[in-house]
Structure 1
C-alpha cells in the first residue's frame, strides 16, 4: 500500500473516486499575527495492493510542528478496497479521501501533515507558516 497523493488545500472533496481540490498544493502561508487559524482541506489518494484488498485498514491523519509534536486535529477513517467486477488480478485499487476543517497555527515555523495506514507513516506534506509583511 502506498499514498499516491497527500495535498493540503483551501478545500477538497472526494466524489466518485476523484479528488476535487481548490487552492491546493500550497507550501507557504503568511499570517498577520500568531496564533492563527486556517480552514484546511486535506486530499488523500491511497493505492491499495491487490493482496491488501477486501481487508479493513485504518487511515490516520494529523499535523506535526517542527519538533515532531502531534497537533490537533487528529483524524481517522476505516476503509476497505473491494475488488470490483472485471478488475485485473494483481492490479492496485485507488481509494480517495477528503476532509476539511480548522487548524490552529500557534506560531511561525515549519509544519507537516502526516498520513499513516495501520500505524505506518506513508506520506508527509510539509508546509511553512510565516509572518505577513506589512505594507509600506
Structure 2
C-alpha cells in the first residue's frame, strides 16, 4: 500500500514540475492521474496529494500577489498567507464605537482598584501631610498680639 502512495507522490511531483500553463490541460492531466490511481488501487488518493493537485490547478489564483483581489475578480479566494494578511489588517467592530479617527481611545476612563499595600502607603503619607498642614494652620490662625495705634 505504501508503494502505491510513494509512486503517486512522485507522479504528482513530476506533474507539478511540468508546469503546464493552460488550466484546462492541467485539469485533464490531474484527472487522468487520479483516475489511473483509483483504477489501480481501488480507492481515492491521499488527501495531502489531492490538496497538492488542487493547488496546482489553481496556481494562478494562489500566486496572485495583488492585495485587492476582490475588486478585480468576480469570485476571488485567498491562499492561507493572503487570508492571514487580510485578517491582520481588519479591525473588529468592538473598537469602532470607542476609537476615533485620530487613533485614540475615547472611552470613559475608569480608576483601577488599589492594592492593600498601595492604600497603606497612601494613608501613611496622608497622615504625615495632615500633621504638617494642621501645624501650619494652627500657626496661621493663632491670634496675634493686640496692637493699638492711637493713644487715649
Band the TM-score falls in, shorter-chain normalisation: under 0.3
Q: Which has the higher contact order (CA 8 A, sep 6+)?
A: 1
Q: Which TM-score applies when normalising by structure 1? A: 0.22
Larger radius of gyration: 2
Q: Which TM-score applies when normalising by structure 2? A: 0.20
More strand by share: 1
